């Protein structure tokens, strides 16, 4: 790392940052949150709320705190060193490791894309049931492909900001209209209960905000945002980026918590269990009126579509970083990855009328393996002085990140034990 960056960080200029500057700094973390809050997360929160009421709220808050510290080093590496995490893996660990990491992310993206576009299709089917789910899924996939195909970061950023806002409005309003008891919400939601001893569920709730590719995604999109910025110091970029991450992790907790509150207020109190996000929307209609089903379905659509768009855009960026090529959305290699991550999942749905369980299991296994690998890699990079100079991890940051690494390693072990039928 250059001494110029060291001096800038050690003796930062006193730069007054206005509210408008913070607002302009929003973006990369919003794109990542759009990837985190997908149909799978909404289903997990819906099922948890309908089964355990408000008990999991403290876990949601804890998971978002973990997710912040999991991603924060990506900001430092990207802004200070001017490289992404994937580029760091390629440069300091080896290109084969970077290509392997990209391959695991790509397989996971293809498998989970089917769930993303199916979730968006189920939401639209709520409004117009005469159109088949496959047609809706294909339509959403093509729209996402067109947006990614244009390849303009600012368009991607603005679309995801709108989708995040839609999710907040949809789920928070639905939770509000469900009429929760605020006193019980606080006393039960933050009583630190362990969900009847279901520790694996607790770990799953923590993992839903820390998929392995989010730290790679935040790094890649942060570099895209600031690569052409010349009149903004690294110190200022760091402050704006950390604010972006903190705010959007707060939004993640707000959206996830709102879904749990809604399910806990409406379903749990009546003994109704749900098994999917789409079923949650259907159940809300007779209980709270059609507006509740409409709001929840809009949120589900935004979650599915934004996650699908995130995966297409991210896979393209990571591929170029892994093989050491310049970021170029219009290059043939980038177009091929876009097509794979947008259309292959639709063909899978059309051929099998569902996502083959073997593909999902493979994706789970690879994600389970990738999560501790990515976390360990970030921890190593953040402790290399040749990478971060004076901005290397301090003792507190190492303790926090080691705890996160321990949790994700336990999650990885759990996935593999489950796959081999040992638990």
pLDDT at 364: 56
Are 56 and 259 within 8 A, CB to CB? no
| DSSP symbol at 310 | H
Which pLDDT tens digit goes with each residue over 198-225?
776 777 787 778 887 899 999 999 998 8
Give CA–CA dist 171/42, Å, rounded. Answer: 10
Buried b (16+ CB within 10 A) or exposed e, 297-308: bbbbbbbbbbbb
**Whole-number percent of the chain with pLDDT over 90:** 38
pLDDT score, position 420? 67
DSSP letter at 152 equals -
Average pLDDT, the chain: 85
At 239 the pLDDT is 92
Q: Tell me: pLDDT of 43 over 90.
A: no
Q: Using the structure block, give the residue that is written with the tokens 């409409």.
A: 294
Q: What topology is assigned to 16-419 in CATH?
A: Hydantoin permease (1.10.4160)
Q: How far apart, in Å, are the Cα atoms of 309 and each of 134, 159, 163?
A: 18, 10, 11
pLDDT of residue 101: 86
Cβ within 8 Å of residue 121, ≥6 positions away: 133, 134, 136, 137, 140, 304
Calculate the dihedral angle through the C-alpha atoms of 204, 205, 209, 213, rounding to the nearest 10 degrees: 10
What's this model's pTM, rounded to 2 decimal places? 0.87
Per-residue pLDDT for 4 more than 50?
no
> Token pair of 257, please?
């918590």
């Amino acid at each position: 790392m250059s001494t110029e960056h060291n001096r800038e960080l050690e003796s930062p200029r006193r730069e007054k940052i206005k509210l408008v500057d913070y607002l302009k700094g929003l973006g990369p973390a919003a794109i990542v949150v759009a990837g985190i809050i997908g149909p799978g997360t909404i289903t997990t929160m819906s099922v948890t709320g309908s089964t355990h009421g408000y008990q999991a709220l403290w876990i949601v808050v804890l998971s978002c705190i973990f997710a912040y510290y999991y991603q924060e080093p990506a900001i430092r590496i990207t802004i200070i060193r001017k490289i992404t995490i994937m580029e760091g893996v390629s440069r300091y660990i080896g290109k084969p490791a970077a290509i392997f990491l990209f391959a695991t992310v790509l397989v996971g993206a293809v498998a989970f894309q089917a769930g993303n576009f199916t979730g968006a299709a189920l939401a639209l089917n709520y409004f117009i049931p005469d159109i088949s789910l496959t047609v809706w899924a294909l339509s959403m996939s093509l729209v996402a492909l067109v947006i990614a195909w244009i390849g303009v970061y600012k368009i991607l950023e603005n679309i995801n900001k709108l989708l995040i806002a839609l999710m907040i409005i949809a789920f928070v309003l639905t939770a509000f209209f469900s009429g929760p008891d605020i006193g019980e919400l606080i006393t039960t939601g933050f009583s630190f209960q362990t969900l009847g001893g279901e520790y694996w569920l607790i770990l799953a709730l923590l993992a839903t905000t820390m998929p392995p590719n989010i730290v790679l995604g935040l790094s890649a999109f942060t570099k895209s945002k600031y690569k052409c910025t010349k009149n903004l110091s690294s110190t200022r970029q760091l402050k704006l980026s950390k604010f972006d991450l903190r705010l959007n992790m707060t939004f993640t907790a707000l959206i996830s918590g709102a879904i749990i509150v809604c399910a806990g207020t409406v379903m749990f109190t009546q003994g109704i269990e749900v098994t999917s996000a789409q079923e949650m929307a259907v159940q809300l209609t007779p209980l709270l009126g059609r507006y509740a089903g409409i709001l929840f379905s809009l949120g589900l659509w935004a979650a599915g579509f934004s996650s699908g768009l995130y995966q297409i855009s991210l896979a393209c960026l990571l591929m170029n970083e892994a093989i050491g090529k310049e970021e170029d959305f219009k290059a043939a290699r980038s177009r091929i990855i876009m097509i794979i991550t947008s259309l292959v999942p639709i063909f899978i749905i059309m051929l099998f009328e569902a996502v083959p369980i073997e593909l999902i299991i493979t994706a789970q296994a690879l994600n389970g393996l990738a999560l501790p690998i990515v976390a360990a890699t970030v921890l190593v990079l953040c402790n290399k002085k040749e990478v971060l100079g004076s901005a290397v991890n301090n003792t507190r940051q190492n303790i926090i990140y080691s705890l996160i690494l321990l949790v994700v390693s336990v999650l990885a072990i759990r996935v593999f034990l489950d796959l081999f039928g040992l638990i």
